[in-house]
Amino acid sequence: MSELRIRCAALSDVDIVLRFWRDAAEGTSISDDRGGVDRLLATDPAALLLAELDGELVGTVIAGFDGWRCHLYRLAVHPERRRRGIGSALLTAAEERFVRLGGRRGDAMVLVRNETAHHAWRGAGYQPQEQWRRWVKPLTDGDH
């Protein structure tokens, strides 16, 4: 495998990232649009990590830290590049970021139906916490 490069996303990457998520990410999010990713980068420019091989985007993770909790979202690896350590490298970079910021524990949003992701997260040392349930409320029309 060529040298894997992990870097923070820039505004110029947003359209490429959105296209990548349509192909590589499981499910969609209400924030999967230009405005959502622009806001993420404006709020925390180092949160969106990209993995590249020979200049090609092959993986992403959002490593958001709000000063209290370390949240992981949008861990996605190109389907043809899976099982080659890309997801692990992204998680290592995210966890290192959290430790530098003073974070103590990472949590991940993982779809219940995504069994492939369950295996990957378990392999990375994460465990589901059955005692917790996510509660949501749409804040604008059309959000769900």
**pLDDT tens column, 93-116:** 999 999 999 999 999 988 888 888
Q: Under a CB-based contact definition with an 8 Å cutoff, are residues 63 and 97 in contact?
A: yes
Across the range 63-71, mean pLDDT stands at 93
Tens of pLDDT, residues 7-63? 999 999 999 999 999 988 876 677 778 999 999 999 999 999 999 999 999 999 999
| pTM (global) more than 0.85 | yes
Across the range 122-143, mean pLDDT stands at 82
Partners of 50 in beta bridges: 7, 60
> What is the pLDDT, as a whole number, of residue 25?
83
CA distance 40 to 71: 13
CA distance 138 to 140: 6
Q: How many residues would you count in the chain?
A: 144
> What is the pLDDT, as a whole number, of residue 105?
92
> What is the pLDDT, as a whole number, of residue 142?
62
What percent of the chain is modeled with pLDDT above 90? 62
Q: Which helix (H) or strand (E) holds 102?
A: none
Q: Under a CB-based contact definition with an 8 Å cutoff, are residues 77 and 87 in contact?
A: yes
> What is the pLDDT, as a whole number, of residue 143?
54
